[in-house]
Amino acid sequence: MTDVQGRTAFITGGANGIGLGIARAMAKAGANVALADLDAAALDAAKAELATTTGVETFVLDVRDRDGFARAADAVEARLGPVSLLFNNAGVAGGAPVAQMGYAMWDWGIGINLGGVINGVETFVPRMVARGAGGHVVNTASGAGLVATDSGVLYTTAKFAVVGMAEALQRELQGAGIGVSVLCPGPVATNIVKRTHSLRPAREQPLSAEQTRAVEARLDATTAWLQQGVPSDRVGEMVLDAVRANRLFIHTDRIVADLLEARHQALLAAFAALD
């Protein structure tokens, strides 16, 4: 069990959505919080809110920027103390059909959704191990990191990797007293789809006017679907509970449960070919 009170948490994507929900839960539980995000205005608003509860520092950070990560780590540890709670939460949604995607979009999606997690781990975990004071790492994946859904090849590829990374990290870090969890949410009431759509690189093959209208309609429908999901503050509470209990998997709903069971049955059934 990890007691978060008095510890320092570093949360990427911490000014919006799930990241802000995690920050609120950690602050209420007595942790200092450092928030990293690309949205400077949202960081200012989050700091104003949370500073009434706990110590807060904010950093404008692209999680693909390794030097920026190192600078933020040095700064937060000088101001708030050693980071022993790490939340690699920043992520982007969507992608494009493979035939229209191109390398730029692959690099963008993998760079943020997987590379950002790698950069967070590489920046903070060696420090945590060297201090010998334990801690906890939470990586945000998705239900789409457990079983393929309609989330697209790019997103699914990155999130499957994040799940596997968390499982391997748990095995490696348990001897150091560092817990590991992987958050695999279903729909959460955030604006991630529209927020990240404006940031992504252009498709390799430009869309026609009709295709553009279809994409915009899908964005609207997906955003509306997400708004019916679990509130981000509730997800933050789930994450806090998992850290305290040192649970590996964190689910927010049962939406992929049947699909996951079918996948596992298919995997096991494939061994019959060896008989």
Cβ atoms 157, 108 nearer than 8 A: no
User: What are the two backbone dihedrals, phi and then psi, of residue 174, each rounded to the nearest 5 degrees?
Assistant: -60, -35
- Which residues share a beta bridge with 37? 60
Residue 155: active-site member = yes
Residue 226's pLDDT is 60
Closest CA to 139 of 115, 174, 156: 115
Question: Distance between CA 265 and CA 162 in Å, rounded?
Answer: 22
Ordered by where they begin, the domains of the chain are 8-274 (3.40.50.720)
Q: Which of 155, 182, 192, 223 is catalytic?
A: 155
Arithmetic mean of pLDDT, 129-149: 97
Among the listed residues 79, 238, 91, the one whose alpha carbon sits nearest the alpha carbon of residue 151: 91
The amino acid present at 166, given as its one-letter code, is A
Q: Full-prediction pTM beyond 0.85?
A: yes
Helix H segments across the chain?
17-28, 40-50, 66-80, 98-101, 103-113, 115-131, 153-173, 192-197, 209-227, 232-245, 257-269
- Give the separation between CA 213 and CA 272, rounded to whole angstroms: 47
pLDDT in tens, 147-203: 999 888 999 999 999 999 999 999 999 999 999 999 999 988 776 655 665 565 665
Q: Is the pLDDT score of 224 beyond 90?
A: no
Which amino acid is it at 257? A
149, 259 contact by CB (below 8 A): yes
